[in-house]
Amino acid sequence: MVASEETANGPLHGIVVLDLSRILAGPTATQILGDLGATVLKIENPKSGGDDTRAWGPNYARASNGDPTDLSAYFMSSNRNKKSVAIDIATPAGQDIIRQLAARADVVIENFKPGGLAKYRLDHATLCAAHPGLVYCSISGFGQTGPNSHRPGYDLMAQGYGGIMSLTGEPDGQPLKVGVGIADVMCGMYATIGVLAALRHRDQTGEGQHIDLALVDTQMAWLVNEGINFLTSGNLPERRGNAHPNIVPYDAFQVEDGYFLLAVGNDAQFQRFCDFLGQPDLARHPDYATNLKRIENRVALTSLLRDALISYSKSEVLEGLEQRGVPAGPINTVKEALETDQASARDTVISISKDTVQGGSVKLLGNPLKFSITPVTYRHAPPHFGEDTQDVLEAFGISPPIK
């Protein structure tokens, strides 16, 4: 899909978001809000050259002469549909500009350490008191309260503290983080949900509010079934690699030319799977006839299935199981995934015009939301540092700081 800076009225058209966040969790939330039509003003520090992730290479959009720009792939992953405004909030003039923008904003999102903005009088208590309809979302590692509230928040540390690493990896291997910054991304998702709910309340009552959100809190919240498995039984969940704690067989299995994924969700699917293997009696065996028995006899059954599948090819297994209605699928590389016909049909990869880079556009991952009336729009490519400062200040009637 090719997109440009067209004007469109998304579901959040008219909402102004003052984005004081950086790295990934906050920018994920503000990018989603921008995709939905909000005007997002990304405030960046001129002393540091902007968001830290602008320098997180090695992959960058390149200028026409081949030199890397300040648009790293990491930065571009969460900063489209935003205007970059270079403001030094450590100065009185910069603080005054932020207060003027906050007076015109519907939402403020920040991820400073708790209390870090109070010295500039840009904290939630100050701005919400001045603007009672303001929705102010604070993202931090451990939240605004509690014994660890002073500690910084990083995705890796949140995954470790919050328990997900203890469940990720092979049973006899070391605990592993998820391959992308999933704690940050999911925190950004929760922030988006919280902001939308608070805006709904604001629109009904005129009353804004403060949202206190922590990476660690959100990571623990999406322990989902494994968290409840522990709370229900008292038994500590185990690392099982690709296997499932509550369903068997549900795992990656090796065949003669690689691996495939098998996800047998019920007893009828298991019967059809055994029919594919030419072993219908296996589905009637008292040790394997029900999912409960398959869980109890997980090791023995998995060993039998690994021996039975090793002589098949991936195409034989995937085609044969699809014909029988048994869930199975490939393990794609990123390249394979993004080049599938499904990805093409669903606009998973988009291209946004950017005349300052080679080729005149940047490729990004599209927003998965599909609206029937107010579609997601891609109006602005990720901005260069400070490129919109003058335009934004003029649009809001604010005088630039005196240099």
Which amino acids are annotated catalytic? 184
Distance CA 279, CA 269 (A): 14
Give the Cα separation of 400 and 196 in Å (integer): 31
| Residue linked to tokens 């990571």 | 219
Amino acid at 138: S
> Please, are residues 184 and 156 in contact by the beta-carbon 8 Å criterion?
no
DSSP secondary-structure letter at 86? Answer: E
Could you tell me the two tokens for 283? Answer: 């589905």
Q: 3-class DSSP state for residue 271?
A: helix
Q: How many CB atoms lie within 10 A of CB 4?
A: 14
* Element at 167 (helix H, strand E): none
Residue 165 Cα to chain centre, angstroms: 17
Please answer whether residues 241 and 298 qualify as being in contact, where contact means their C-beta atoms are separated by less than 8 angstroms.
no
User: Counting Cβ atoms within 10 Å, is residue 251 exposed (0-12), middle (13-18) or buried (19+)?
Assistant: buried
- Of 298, 303, 307, 302, which is closest to residue 255 (Cα–Cα)? 307
How many residues are there in the chain?
A: 403
- Both tokens of residue 7? 């004007």
Q: Nearest to residue 403, comparing CAs of 164, 67, 168, 86?
A: 86
How many CA atoms, within 13 angstroms, populate the side-chain half-sphere of residue 376?
A: 20
Starting from the edge strand earliest in sequence, which strands make up the sheet with 349-353, in order? 2-3, 349-353, 361-365
What CA–CA distances, in Å, run from 140 to 155, 164, 352? Answer: 11, 18, 31
Tokens read off for 6: 């067209």
In a 13 Å sphere around the CA of 191, the CA atoms on its Cβ side amount to: 34
